[in-house]
Amino acid sequence: MKAKHWLVPALLLLSTFAQAQEKFKVGYIRVMDDAQAMVAHEAGLYKKHGLDVELIEFSSGTDLIKAIVGGQLDTGVLGFTNAVAWASKGADLKVVGGAQQGYHSIVALEGSGIEKVADLKGKILASQKEGSTADAVLRGVTLKNAELKPSDVNIMGVSPAVAVQSLVSGRVDAAFLFEPYDRIAQLVAPVQQVYEIGEVWPFPCMVVITSGDTLAKRKDAVWKSLDAQRDAIEMLDKQPAEAAKLIADYFIAEPTLKTLKRGELAREVVIEEAIGTQTFSAKLGKDDLARIQELADILQELGSLKTRDGKPFDTSAIVDLSWQEAREL
């Protein structure tokens, strides 16, 4: 009889817990820059904060931002350039939190003669598709600072996985990569890293974006998702080995990776090393906001961003820092 007495309250408790879990959709791209979204999901951190999250993968930031604009997603972790491009056309978007500081490296084949960015002249470089955040900083910062024009380099817009394969086969001389593909490339191909943008031009590469409508109607849920992702960032920073175990199979299908010099390496080790190169931050500081404006100006200079009146796009119009202010970050 005692068991029956306990059973009803237990079932009611479970039912109440289930009802308390608010459904929420988060978009992400399968790159290390979005690790906070993946870790928050795999570690049960969204549930901890009262959300029943459906984590939805997208192949590009362009597709992800379309889903936010169309109301199919509540939030997404993606490059800021996508938000600017759509907001300049009238889309109601809000940047509500930080994610990852820009880590984009150039790895070059040994014997290619590439020791610095300027050596890319006349070479074949695998990079991201034109209009992406990676492409914008490559053309508007990396090449420009080396006094190179985009036309000086044969730039191939491909996926990071194809870029790594192209290095292995020798079809390209170098690649502009983010993690974990930089780490993987250095393990499976005869390459060396010759440049990393975060060392010379740090910027908030990935941010958390939502629509103005979602923020107005579901602010509490958006803030809960940001709380969960902040917890995930803390785990990435303080427990990288545990975080790597949770997300390693997002990037490497097999249990081990066959490397050139380190034998068969457990995928968790590869991903932990990739996590170690990253700077994650839920907060957007003054320097980040200034960089965001600078990046928008670069997009306009490149012709990738056009405003209706031809004036510079004011990025402060789409930034909402109320969550981080309330959390006193």
Q: What are the tens digits of pLDDT across the range 49-101?
A: 999 999 999 988 889 999 999 999 999 999 888 888 889 888 999 999 999 98
pLDDT in tens, 241-251: 999 999 999 99
Give which of 38, 27, 26, 79 is closest to 271, Cα–Cα: 38
Average pLDDT over residues 284-304: 92
Are 211 and 314 in the same domain?
yes
Residue 140 lies in domain: 105-200
Residue type, 147: E
pLDDT bin (cut points 50, 70, 90) of residue 223 is: very high
79 and 228 together in one domain: yes
What is the average pLDDT value for the chain, to the nearest integer? 92
Residue type at position 191: V
Mean pLDDT of 18-46: 92
Residues 192 and 90 in one domain: no
Question: What percent of the chain lies above the pLDDT cut of 70?
Answer: 94
* pLDDT value of residue 140: 94
pLDDT score recorded for residue 174: 98
What pLDDT, in 10s, does the model give residues 155-189? 999 999 999 999 999 999 999 999 999 999 999 99
Asked if residue 15 belongs to a domain, the reply is no
Residue 149 burial by CB count (10 A; 0-12/13-18/19+): exposed, middle or buried? exposed
Lowest mean pLDDT among 14-23, 183-192, 272-281: 14-23
- The answer, yes or no, to whether residue 320 has pLDDT greater than 80, is yes
- What was the pLDDT predicted at 224? 98
Q: Residue 60: inside a domain, yes or no?
A: yes
The amino acid present at 117, given as its one-letter code, is V
Is 60 exceeded by the pLDDT of residue 328? yes
Confidence tier at 6 by pLDDT (50, 70, 90): very low
* 116-152 residue pLDDT tens: 999 999 999 999 888 788 889 999 999 999 999 999 9
**Model confidence at 4: pLDDT above 50:** no
149 with 193, same domain? Answer: yes
The answer as to whether 319 is a domain residue is yes
Look at residue 261 and tell me if it is in a domain.
Answer: no
Distance CA 116, CA 244 (A): 31
In a domain, 1, yes or no: no
Per-residue pLDDT for 229 more than 90? yes
- Which of residues 139, 173, 200 is at a domain's end? 200
Query: Could you give the number of structural domains in the chain?
Result: 2
- What does the DSSP assignment read for 33-75? GGHHHHHHHHTTHHHHTTEEEEEEEESSHHHHHHHHHTTS-SE
Partner residues linked to 191 by β-bridges: 109
- Taking residue 322's Cβ as centre, other Cβ atoms within 10 Å add up to 13
CA nearest neighbour of 210 among 298, 82, 304, 103: 82
Q: Which residue, 171, 200, 229, sits at the end of a domain?
A: 200
pLDDT at 152: 98
Regarding whether 132 and 91 lie in a shared domain, the answer is no
Pairing of strands 191-196, 256-258: unpaired
- Domain CATH for 156: 3.40.190.10
Task: List strand residue ranges (DSSP E) for the chain, in order.
Answer: 22-29, 51-58, 75-79, 93-101, 105-109, 124-127, 154-157, 174-177, 191-196, 204-211, 256-258, 264-266
Evaluate if residue 13 carries a pLDDT over 80: no
- 266 within some domain: no
177 & 216 share domain: no
At residue 9, the pLDDT reads: 53
Please give the pLDDT value at position 3: 46
Please state, as a whole number, how many other Cβ atoms lie within 10 Å of the Cβ of residue 187. Answer: 20
pLDDT at position 280: 96
* Same domain flag for 216 and 189: no
Is the Cβ–Cβ distance between 158 and 166 less than 8 Å? Answer: yes
* Beta bridge partner(s), residue 50: none
Contact criterion met (CB below 8 Å) for 299 and 85: yes
Please tell me the distance from the alpha carbon of residue 246 to that of residue 180, in angstroms, as a whole number: 15
Q: Same domain for 160 and 301?
A: no
What is the CB-side half-sphere exposure of residue 291 using CA atoms within 13 A? Answer: 22
pTM (2 decimals)? 0.91
Task: Tell me the angle at which helices 61-69 and 80-87 cross, rounded to the nearest 10 degrees.
Answer: 50
Separation of alpha carbons 101 and 275, rounded Å: 12
User: What value does the mean pLDDT take over residues 306-323?
Assistant: 90
Say yes or no: 149 and 286 in one domain: no
**Three-state DSSP class for 128?**
coil
Give the pLDDT band (50/70/90) at residue 23: very high
Q: Are residues 211 and 317 in the same domain?
A: yes
State residue 133's pLDDT score. 85
Q: What is the pLDDT of residue 19?
A: 53
- Work out the average pLDDT over 31-50: 97
Burial of 21 (0-12, 13-18, 19+ CB in 10 A): middle
177 in any annotated domain: yes
For residues 97 and 208, state if they share a domain.
yes
293 lies in a domain? Answer: yes
Q: Quick one: 224 and 313 in the same domain?
A: yes
